[in-house]
Structure 1
C-alpha cells in the first residue's frame, strides 16, 4: 500500500444534490479551478448523463483542468458510460465512476433485479467502461449494508474486468467507525485480487460520523482514497467534509503516517467560494472553516494563546488560509488590478464585456464601501446583475419606506426578459413588502422555504449583506443569493435570483453514491 492519501472531491456532483444547491456551468468551472489550486487529486465534475447542462459542465471542466483528474459519475449501463466518456474526451486526466446498488434492499425495491443480474451488469459495464478509459472506479451503492459474501463476489469480478478504484459507500450514513473500518479490511482480505485496485471510502453524515468513518476506513481498513466535499455539502445531513479529513491527516501525521498533495492554504478560499455560490452558510463553530474555528473567548485560553499558541491551537489559522482575508482593492484601484485579483481568485470571465461590467459594479460598490475584501469580489461577480443579459429577471430599481407606527411600503422596478415591470406592495417589513411587490407581477406561486441573512465580511456595519432565499415549486427546490450593502436590495436580488432558477428549464436527475 502507498503512504499517499488520494483526495476525491465530489462537491460538484454529490454536494450539488443538496436541495437548492444546483450550480450553473460557470459556477462549477469557478469551483473546479479553486479545487485545482487546492491540489485535489480527483474532481468529480458531475453526472454527464443526467442532463445536457451537466454534460456541458463536465466537458468544460475536463477541458479546463490540467493538474487534477476529472471524473464523471455514470450508472452501470452502456448509455451512461458512453455519455461520460464523451464528456471527458480530450481531458488531460480523466476517470469514469460507475455505480450499481448491491444491498438486498436496493436490489429488490429500487432496481428490481436479482443478485445474479446485478453481478452480471456490474461485470459487463466495468469491462465496457475500461474499453473507454484506463481509469475506472466502481461503487457498489449502499455497499456497507450489502451482504459481504455477495459484495466480495461482485468486487472481485469488477477488478478482473478492469476497475482501478473500488469505493465502498456508506450511502445512508449508517456506519460506525470501528465496524466500517473492519468491514473494508475484511473485504480486502477476502478478495484475492484486492491488491490490484485502490480502495476508497465515501461516507454520508446522517449520524454525524462521516469524517470519523472515513478516517477509520483509512486507518483500519487500509483505504487510500477519501471521497468528500467542501464544507461537508451534500443531501440530507451532508457528506464527509474535505477540510476536516485533510487537517486531521495533516495534524495527526504521527498517527496516520500518510502524505497529502493538498495545499491547505487554499481551504478557506474554497469554503467561501462554495458557500457563496450555493447559499449554504457555514456555521460559525464549524471545524477548520467556521468563523469561530480559531477564536478564543475564554480569558484563560486567550492568556495561554498569547504566551504560546500551541497551548490551545493544534493548527495555525494561516495554514488553512485565514490570513488571506486582506483588503486588496479600493475605489482608486484600476481595471488591471481588478482583473489580476479576479485571476488570483480563480474567476475567469469569457469576454472583455463581462470584465467591464464586473469592474463597473466594483467601482459602484467602492463608492459605497471603502474597503473591498475578497469575499466582496466573489459576491460581486456571482451577482446575476453583472451578467444580466443571460437572466430573465433582473432588478432595476427599488425604493421603500419604513417608519415606526406605519406599515412599510416598497416600490420595485425589474426586468422580465425584454419587458420592464413596476410593482408596489405593503408588507410586515421593508423586505416583506419588496418581495411581495415582485410576486404581484411574477405570480410564481412558489413557497419560500428559507430566508437567511449573513454578513459577507465581519467587523463593520459597512459590510455587505448576503441574503439566501430558497424557493420550492412544482417539486423543484432552488436557492437564490444576492448581495448588497443595503439588505433590502440584497433580498430583492436573492428573490429574483431564485426566480431565475425556477424559470430555467434545465433539469437534473439525482443519483446517489
Structure 2
C-alpha cells in the first residue's frame, strides 16, 4: 500500500508575495475553489494580521470551500495567533501555522536572542495556538541553514507542546538536495516523539533546486509538501505543485500517492496565471506551452510513430486539451465559452457577452486566437468596472518625425482629451495621459513581453508606478504595444484611485 503525501498549497499566501500579483477577495475565492477541485489537502489562505484584506479573504475562503483544511499564518506572537483564530472561525477544518527563525543568523541578527530563548518562544506560541485549534503547524524559519542538532531540539520541544505538523523550510533556497534530504532523515532518527507529528517541506527555488529538495524530503520521510501553482512565490519562487504531483505519478516506484486530480493541473495553472497577470515561461515543466511541443524533425518522427518515444506523460493526464478547435472571427460564443472553460475560466452569460464582443474585435486583427489571447481578454473584462477608461488613442510617429499622441479618457462618465509630443510614441502617449491625470506619478519599471509569435502578436506590458510614496503595479495587453502601455499605466492609476 502506498504512503499518503499531503499537499499544502500556499499559492494564496507565499505565492501572492510576488510583486504585482496581489489578488482581491473574489479572485482568491475563485482560486481556492479551483484548488479544492484539484484535490489539495491544505490551503494556506493568508497572513491575517498583516492586513484587513488578508483577514477578510480567509473568512470568505473558509465559507466558500468544504473539505480542505484552511490554514492561517502567524508569527510566534499572541496577537497574531488571536487574529488568526478569529479569521478561521468559519472554517470546517482549521489550522494555525506559527513559528520563528531558528538559524544562528536569525537568532542573532533578526531577534537579538539566544537559542534557549527561541525554544521557549516556540513552545509558548504552539501552546497558545492549541488553545484555539487542535491542528497546529510549527515552522522553523531558515531551517535549511540551522544545524541539525539544534533543529532537532526545537522540533522535539514543539511536538511535546502539541504541534501536529513541523515545517522544515529551506527559506533561502540554499540547501543541496542531498543535504536537505539528510536533514529530514536526521529529524526522523533523532527527534523523540517524531511519530506524533507530520514533517513538512517548504523549499524555495533561489538556486533552482526547490523541486529536487522537496523530493529528497519526501524520500527521507516528509509526508507533507508546501507548494504553489506554477512555482510562484517570493524571489525565485517555491516548489511547483504540478512538478511534485507528476513526478510521483510518473515514478510509481517511489510508492507515494497524493490526492491530486492531475487532469485539473492545466486549467488551474492557467487560472492562476491569468488572475495574477503572471505569464508562464514557455519551457516551464508540465504547464509551459512548449512542455509537449516537438520541433526537431527526429523528435517529431518519433512522436508520430509512438508518443512515448519522447513523451513520458500523456498531455491529457495534466488536463491539456488536444481538441483542435481554433478560434477565429467566425467562431461562436459556444466555442469561446469552451476554450475559456478549458483554461479554468467560468463565465455567466453577461460576462461571456462582454468577452465575446472584445473577442470579435480582437479576432479581426489576428488570423487565429490563442489560449493566451483569450485569457488576456478574460482578464481585460475587469477593466469595465474601473473609473478611468481609455476612449481612444492616436499616435503619429516615424523616422525623422517627432512622436505626437492624442488621447481620450472616460473618467467616471466624464470625457477628457489631451495631446503631447514625446521621445517616441509610448513617451508621447503617457505624457498626454499625465496631462489629464495631473498627479505626481513616477514610472519605476516598464516591461514588454510577447505572448505568442508573429507580426500580429499580442504584447503584454507590466508597469510599476510610484504615487504618494507607494508603488502600484499595472498590466495591459494589446496587439498595439503603445495602447498596451497606456492601458497598463491606466491600470496603475485605477489602483491608487480605489
Answer yes or no: same fold by TM over 0.5. Answer: yes
1:322 Cα deviation from its structure 2 partner: 2.2
**Equivalenced residues, count:** 493
Partner residue of 1:54? 54
CA distance in structure 1 between the aligned counterparts of 2:94 and 2:2, rounded to whole angstroms: 21
Cα deviation 1:141-162 (Å, max 9, x = unaligned): 1112123333222212221222
Map 1:95-134 onto structure 2 (within 5 A): 95-134=95-134
2:288 pairs with 1:294 = no
Partner residue of 2:393? 398
1:176 Cα deviation from its structure 2 partner: 0.6
Unaligned runs of 5+ in 1: 505-513
CA distance in structure 2 between the aligned counterparts of 1:346 and 1:130, rounded to whole angstroms: 37
Q: Quickly say closer, same or farther: Cα 1:297–1:318, change in 2 above 3 A.
A: same
Partner residue of 2:76? 76
Q: Quickly say closer, same or farther: Cα 1:415–1:160, change in 2 above 3 A.
A: farther
1:281 Cα deviation from its structure 2 partner: 2.0
CA distance in structure 2 between the aligned counterparts of 1:324 and 1:466, rounded to whole angstroms: 26
Q: Which one of 406, 412, 435 corresponds to residue 411 of structure 1?
A: 406
Partner residue of 1:511? none
Farther off after superposition, 181-190 or 262-271: 262-271
Partner residue of 2:267? 269
2:379 pairs with 1:382 = yes
Unaligned runs of 5+ in 2: none
Partner residue of 1:509? none
Q: Quickly say closer, same or farther: Cα 1:416–1:101, change in 2 above 3 A.
A: farther
Q: Which one of 423, 429, 448 corresponds to residue 444 of structure 2?
A: 448
Contact kept, 8 Å, 2:270 with 2:344, in 1: the verdict is no
2:311 pairs with 1:313 = yes
Partner residue of 1:182? 182
Contact kept, 8 Å, 2:16 with 2:22, in 1: the verdict is yes
Cα deviation 1:412-434 (Å, max 9, x = unaligned): 22245575443322344433432
Partner residue of 2:482? 488
TM-score normalised to the size of structure 2? 0.89
1:485 Cα deviation from its structure 2 partner: 4.5
Considering Cα pairs closer than 8 Å and 6+ residues apart, tell me whether 1 or 2 has the greater RCO: 1
Map 1:119-198 onto structure 2 (within 5 A): 119-198=119-198
CA distance in structure 2 between the aligned counterparts of 1:2 and 1:100, rounded to whole angstroms: 33
Q: Quickly say closer, same or farther: Cα 1:343–1:295, change in 2 above 3 A.
A: closer
Contact kept, 8 Å, 1:467 with 1:490, in 2: the verdict is yes
Partner residue of 2:301? 303
CA distance in structure 1 between the aligned counterparts of 2:14 and 2:410, rounded to whole angstroms: 34
Contact kept, 8 Å, 2:266 with 2:343, in 1: the verdict is no
1:491 Cα deviation from its structure 2 partner: 2.6
Secondary structure of the equivalent of 2:357? helix
1:172 Cα deviation from its structure 2 partner: 0.7
1:140 Cα deviation from its structure 2 partner: 0.8
CA distance in structure 1 between the aligned counterparts of 2:209 and 2:62, rounded to whole angstroms: 32
Secondary structure of the equivalent of 1:423? strand
Farther off after superposition, 493-502 or 105-114: 493-502
Cα deviation 1:392-431 (Å, max 9, x = unaligned): 4332332333445433322222245575443322344433
1:482 Cα deviation from its structure 2 partner: 2.3
Cα deviation 1:44-76 (Å, max 9, x = unaligned): 111111000111111111111123222111111
Q: Which one of 425, 448, 461 corresponds to residue 467 of structure 1?
A: 461
CA RMSD of aligned residues (A): 2.9
Q: Quickly say closer, same or farther: Cα 1:342–1:293, change in 2 above 3 A.
A: closer
Cα deviation 1:302-346 (Å, max 9, x = unaligned): 111111111111112222222167558977756x99889877866
TM-score normalised to the size of structure 1? 0.87
